[in-house]
C-alpha cells in the first residue's frame, strides 16, 4: 500500500498486515497500482507500474457543491484511461454510460469474523435503543435529518460519527467518535435499530453490519441501497429527505414486533449471501486478468492524457504534480512562456485557486443570465 505524504494510522482496520509506505519510498517493481478515490487518481498514472487501475466506490463528484471547480476536477478523474474496477452494479452502469469504461465488478462483502452479535456495551433498559451512524460534518450523510426524525420518539439515541459531533440541541444519549472497525459490533449489538439517511453512497456497509449483529434497519433510498436491500424484506426504505416517513418507519418497527423479527431474520440471510471470501476471490481474479492481458498496460498516448489532467489538478492545488525540466535561474525567464510565467507568479502568491473560483462563479452567473433572457 502506497500513501501520499505522511504514513496514516491503520489501527482502525483489524488484522491489517499490508506494509504501508510513503511515496518517497515507492518500490521499483510494482505489478498493479490502484487509485482508490478521486484525490489519488491524478498521481497514480505518473508512477511506474505494469498496470494502472482505479477502484471507483461512488460518483465522487457529489462530494462537492454543484458547479464548483472541485466537482469538475473530480469528474476529470474518470476521464483518465485506467483499468476500472468497482463494487456496485449502479457504478458499473454509470461508468459505462458517462465515460465508456468497462469496469470489472467486484461486489462488496462482509467479514463475519468482525461483525456478529456480541455482549452489549450497556444492558438494555425499558426504552428501545436507536443508532444513528454517519459523518456529521458531511451534510450529505443525512445526520441532521436522522436526528430530526427520532426527536419525538420515546427511545434512547446513540450516535457514531467519524467526523463531527452532535449539535447540543440534538437528542443524543451516547456519542462515539472515530470508532475502530472491530469495536463497532459492540455498538451495533447494543442497539435495536439503525436509522441511516445518507444521500450519497456507493455500496454502504453499516446497514449490512447492523444486520450481521442482529439489529433491524431503516435506510434512505440512495444509490447502491438496492445492491442488497429489499424494502419490507430485510429493511424499511424511505426517501432520505422525508423526515416524517423516516420517523413513521422507525416507530412502526418499534411497535410491530413481528415485522421487526421478519426483517432481522432476512437480514441474517442477506449477510450469509455476501461472503467476504467470495469478494476477495473476485478481486484476485480481476487483478490477475489485468496482468495477463498486454493491452491493459497504459500506452504512451494514454499517459499523455493522464499527465495533462494531473497537471491541471496540481495547478489548482498550488502543488504541481509534474516536475518541470531543470532550467538555470539565469535563463528561466527567457525560456518561460509569458502565460506560464504569469500563472506561476499567481500560484506562488496563492491567487490561482481564487481565480479558478471566480471563473466558475462568472460562468454560473452567465448561465443564469442566459436562462433569464
Would you state the pLDDT for residue 11? Answer: 62
DSSP 110: B
d(CA 335, CA 64): 38
Query: Can you give the C-alpha Rg of the chain in angstroms?
Result: 24
d(CA 268, CA 66): 38
Residue 308 neighbours by CB distance under 10 Å: 14
Backbone angles phi, psi at 226, to 5 degrees: -80, 5
Q: Is 265:216 a contact under the CB 8 Å cutoff?
A: no
Q: Give the orientation angle of helix 300-317 with respect to helix 352-372, to 10 degrees.
A: 100
Would you state the pLDDT for residue 359? Answer: 59
Each of the 373 residues of the chain gets a pLDDT tens digit; together they read 655 544 455 666 677 777 788 888 888 889 999 999 998 999 999 999 999 999 999 999 999 888 888 899 999 999 999 999 999 999 999 999 999 999 999 999 999 999 999 999 998 888 999 999 999 999 999 999 999 999 999 999 999 999 999 999 999 999 999 899 899 999 999 999 999 999 999 888 999 999 999 999 999 999 999 999 999 999 999 999 999 999 999 999 999 999 999 999 999 999 999 988 999 999 999 999 999 999 999 999 999 999 999 988 888 777 777 754 433 333 344 334 444 444 454 454 455 455 555 555 665 666 666 666 5
Would you state the pLDDT for residue 337? Answer: 44
Torsion, CA 344, CA 346, CA 347, CA 349, rounded to 10: 120
Would you state the pLDDT for residue 331? Answer: 39
Would you state the pLDDT for residue 19? Answer: 79
Would you state the pLDDT for residue 112? Answer: 93
* Residue keyed to cell 473560483: 357
Residue 32 pairs in a beta bridge with 51
CB pairs under 8 A, 24+ apart, for 109-113? 109/274, 109/275, 109/276, 109/277, 109/278, 109/279, 109/280, 110/205, 110/208, 110/209, 110/212, 110/271, 110/274, 110/275, 110/276, 111/276, 112/212, 112/271, 112/276
DSSP 165: -
Amino acid at each position: 500500500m502506497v500513501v501520499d505524504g505522511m504514513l496514516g494510522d491503520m489501527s482502525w482496520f483489524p488484522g491489517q498486515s499490508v506494509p504501508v509506505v510513503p511515496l518517497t519510498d515507492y518500490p521499483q517493481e510494482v505489478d498493479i497500482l490502484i487509485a482508490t478515490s478521486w484525490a489519488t487518481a491524478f498521481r497514480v498514472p505518473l508512477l511506474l507500474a505494469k498496470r494502472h487501475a482505479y477502484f471507483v466506490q461512488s460518483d465522487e463528484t457529489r462530494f462537492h457543491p454543484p458547479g464548483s471547480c472541485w466537482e469538475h476536477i473530480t469528474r476529470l478523474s474518470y476521464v483518465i484511461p485506467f483499468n476500472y474496477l468497482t463494487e456496485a452494479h449502479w457504478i458499473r452502469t454509470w461508468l459505462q454510460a458517462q465515460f465508456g469504461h468497462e469496469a470489472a465488478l467486484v461486489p462488496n462483502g462482509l467479514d463475519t469474523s468482525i461483525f456478529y452479535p456480541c455482549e452489549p456495551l450497556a444492558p438494555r433498559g425499558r426504552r428501545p435503543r436507536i443508532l444513528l451512524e454517519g459523518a456529521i460534518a458531511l451534510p450529505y450523510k443525512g445526520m441532521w435529518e436522522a436526528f430530526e426524525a427520532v426527536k419525538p420518539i420515546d427511545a434512547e439515541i446513540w450516535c457514531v460519527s467519524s467526523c463531527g459531533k452532535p449539535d447540543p440541541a440534538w437528542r443524543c444519549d451516547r456519542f462515539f467518535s472515530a470508532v475502530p472497525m472491530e469495536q463497532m459490533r459492540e455498538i451495533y449489538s447494543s442497539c435495536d435499530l439503525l436509522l441511516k439517511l445518507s444521500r450519497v453512497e456507493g455500496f454502504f456497509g453499516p446497514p449490512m453490519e447492523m444486520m450481521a449483529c442482529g439489529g433491524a434497519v431503516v435506510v434512505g433510498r440512495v444509490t447502491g441501497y438496492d445492491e442488497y436491500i429489499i424494502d419490507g424484506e430485510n429493511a424499511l426504505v424511505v426517501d432520505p429527505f422525508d423526515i416524517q416517513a423516516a420517523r413513521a418507519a422507525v416507530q412502526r418497527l418499534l411497535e410491530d414486533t413481528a415485522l421487526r423479527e421478519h426483517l432481522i431474520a432476512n437480514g441474517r440471510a442477506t449477510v450469509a449471501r455476501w461472503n467476504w471470501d467470495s469478494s476477495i476471490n473476485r478481486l484476485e481474479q480481476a487483478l490477475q486478468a489485468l496482468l495477463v492481458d498486454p493491452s491493459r498496460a497504459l500506452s504512451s498516448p494514454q499517459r499523455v492524457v493522464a499527465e495533462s489532467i494531473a497537471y491541471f489538478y496540481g495547478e489548482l492545488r498550488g502543488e504541481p504534480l509534474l516536475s518541470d525540466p531543470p532550467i538555470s535561474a539565469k535563463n528561466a525567464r527567457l525560456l518561460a512562456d509569458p502565460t506560464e510565467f504569469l500563472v506561476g507568479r499567481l500560484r506562488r502568491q496563492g491567487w490561482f485557486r481564487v481565480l479558478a473560483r471566480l471563473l466558475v462563479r462568472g460562468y454560473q452567473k452567465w448561465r443564469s443570465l442566459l436562462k433569464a433572457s
